[in-house]
Amino acid sequence: MPHDQPEWVRDQRRILGRRIRDLRMNRGHTQEVVVEMTNIDRRTYQRIEAGESDPRYGDLLQIAAALNVDLADLVR
């Protein structure tokens, strides 16, 4: 995780990761299922959910589609 960013940015990244995890679990998907649906590297996806990395825009689009939510709702 980049350490040169303000704490509030890191907090928001963790919130996003929790939101993604909660949506995935509410839909009954494992991480492996979402990884298969999105073609995102497994470790990258785990780091996104853990709030440890800045997800790329394209990855967020694919995750939103896999979880059947609008991107705006995912990153609200």
- Assess if residue 70 is contained within a domain: yes
Please tell me whether residue 30 adopts helix, strand or coil conformation. coil
Question: What's the CATH code of the domain at 47?
Answer: 1.10.260.40
- What integer pLDDT is reported at residue 1 of this predicted model? 46
Q: Rounded to whole angstroms, what are the CA distances from 62 to 2, 5, 6, 8, 70?
A: 23, 25, 27, 25, 10
Contact, 49 vs 17, CB < 8 A?
yes
- For the chain, what is the domain count? 1
Range of the domain at 48: 7-75
Structural domain contains residue 1: no
CA-CA distance, 19 to 32, in Å (whole number)?
Answer: 17
7-49 pLDDT, tens digit per residue, is 999 999 999 999 999 999 999 999 999 999 999 999 999 999 9
Give a yes or no: residue 48 inside a domain: yes
Q: Is 23 inside a domain boundary?
A: yes
Give a yes or no: residue 2 inside a domain: no
Instruction: Check pLDDT > 50 for residue 67.
Output: yes
Residue 38 inside a domain? The answer is yes
